[in-house]
Amino acid sequence: MIRTTRLLLESIAGLLSQLRKHGCLLDVGSAEGHVARFWREQGGYAAYCHYGLDVCRRVAALCDMSLEQCSPEKTAGEGSWLSGYTRRMSVTLTDLVPSGPYEFAVFDTHSYEREYALEMVGHIASQVDINGGLLSVIDEGISSTVWVNELNRCFREVQKLRPEAARARGLQIFLARWPRPDLKPRIDYYSWQVAIDGEVCHFQGAPGVFSPRDLDAGTAFLLDMMDISPDDHCLDLGCGTGVVAVVASKKSRQTVMAVDTNARALRLTLLNCEQNLAHQVRVQPSDGLMDIDSDMQFDVIACNPPYHTDFAVARRFIEGSFSRLRQGGRLYLVVKRTDWYEQKLRSVFGGYRKFINDSCYTVFVAERRRKQRPSQANKGTTRKHLKRIEASQQQKRRRLR
């Protein structure tokens, strides 16, 4: 268990005598939903939420629940995309918080960047009962002065708890009570523009996504290299602010797919498509290509994979893209480190074209030409296992006929 969640658990256990155990608690971001699950074990009702699809799915699996698509009203109002319910607990994928009121809330900030965490205080406070409170924990990434100022803006009383125990772990924990009735939560949008084929398009970013204040140089280079025809079916894989999806929709008459695991990215993509009249873009949460309808095929897949992680995400993107591209379909990737991508694209696609700009960004263009998917077997994969894979693929092809 990570240290921020452990401190929250210890602190809320100490507050049990002051809280109504059968009330509803909101848990924003505790690792694996530990606080929400603890509250449920005490006989209360708990709502867990997070902006990350993988996080929400992990918590849902621990609670033996499945996540289903939310209604359009919840998506528009709360930014809620998926939710699941079980006895005395819910899990929601959202970049804000599900509608309350809640008698108490906890906020584990460990996975929220500073500006996003500060913004979330207002959203949480707006859904807490007038007599309720918020228990929050921060680490060295957030100034205690700034945090206390934001808590005071949203609540009428703020108290630091257990200063010595928290300081020993490099953490600080606060109890804020009685949310202010006139509170107006906000999203801190940043506005910028991009010229697309002579047309100026207007975009908005916000804390919680990559490059929220302007178009990053890598994506700009990717857009320059993309060749999209009016009949191409396109996928923006990891859509971020949705710039690629908007550009693709300006060039293609077909429906464009835009997917991401980040609920804040999905909100921004929807907003930017609406602002730029890109009405044929379909936005949805997806872990890579896993959650896209299995029968959907594409002519163009574009992706700016995360740079500061291992290659597990990029590997899934490349292998998944090959299986979802039509013959002659193209995968566009913009990267900084090239060696691993060259080897992977060569093994999966059989080759690629490579373009480099003055900022040291590289765009790879890999085209699907083979009729059969190349083997992705590890060194330990047996011949018998390969035969099972081939038999499974033959069954799928027969079902599609």
Instruction: Look at residue 122 in the predicted model and tell me its pLDDT.
Output: 98
Longest dimension (CA), the chain: 68
Mind listing the pLDDT tens digit for each residue in 263-275? Answer: 999 999 999 999 9
| Tokens 């509803």 -> residue | 24
Residue 17 has pLDDT above 80, yes or no: yes
Instruction: Look at residue 370 in the predicted model and tell me its pLDDT.
Output: 63
What average pLDDT does the segment 200-226 reach? Answer: 96
Average pLDDT, the chain: 90
- Give CA angle at 357 (354, 359), nearest 5°: 130
Note whether 143 and 117 are within 8 A (CB).
no
Instruction: Look at residue 102 in the predicted model and tell me its pLDDT.
Output: 96
Grade residue 47 by pLDDT with cuts at 50, 70 and 90.
very high
More confident site: 165 or 304: 304
Instruction: Look at residue 244 in the predicted model and tell me its pLDDT.
Output: 98
Give the chain's domains with CATH numbers. 3-179 (3.40.50.150), 190-367 (3.40.50.150)
Instruction: Look at residue 226 in the predicted model and tell me its pLDDT.
Output: 96
Residue 397 has pLDDT above 90, yes or no: no
Q: What is the spatial distance between Cα 66 and Cα 91, in angstroms, rounded to a whole number? A: 9
Mind listing the pLDDT tens digit for each residue in 280-323? Answer: 999 999 999 999 999 999 999 999 998 766 789 999 999 999 99
Grade residue 399 by pLDDT with cuts at 50, 70 and 90.
very low
**DSSP for 67-88, written as a single string:** -EEPPHHHHHHH-EEEEEEETT
Note whether 50 and 56 are within 8 A (CB).
yes
Q: Hey, what amino acid is at 273? A: C
Mind listing the pLDDT tens digit for each residue in 112-139? Answer: 999 999 999 999 999 999 999 999 999 9
Q: Strand, coil or helix: what is 202?
A: strand
Q: What is the spatial distance between Cα 240 and Cα 259, in angstroms, rounded to a whole number? A: 9
Instruction: Look at residue 164 in the predicted model and tell me its pLDDT.
Output: 72
Instruction: Look at residue 378 in the predicted model and tell me its pLDDT.
Output: 36
Residue 249 has pLDDT above 90, yes or no: yes
Q: Strand, coil or helix: what is 142?
A: coil
Distances (CA, A) of 242 to 196, 211, 353: 14, 11, 25
Cβ-based neighbours of 100, under 8 Å, separated by 6 or more: 24, 26, 127, 128, 129
**Percent of the chain residues past pLDDT 70, beyond the cut:** 90
Instruction: Look at residue 393 in the predicted model and tell me its pLDDT.
Output: 45
Query: Within 13 Å of residue 146, how many CA atoms lie on the same side as its CB?
Result: 11
Note whether 244 and 302 are within 8 A (CB).
yes
Q: What is the CA radius of gyration of the chain?
A: 23
Q: What is the spatial distance between Cα 311 and Cα 94, in angstroms, rounded to a whole number? A: 26
Distances (CA, A) of 71 to 75, 136, 258, 292, 338: 6, 30, 19, 18, 42
Q: Helix count (H) and strand count (E) of the chain? A: 13, 18
Residue 166 has pLDDT above 80, yes or no: no
Instruction: Look at residue 40 in the predicted model and tell me its pLDDT.
Output: 95
Mind listing the pLDDT tens digit for each residue in 233-242? Answer: 999 999 999 9
Element (H, E) at 217: helix 217-225
| Tokens 């991508």 -> residue | 341
Note whether 82 and 259 are within 8 A (CB).
no
Residue 398 has pLDDT above 60, yes or no: no
Instruction: Look at residue 248 in the predicted model and tell me its pLDDT.
Output: 97
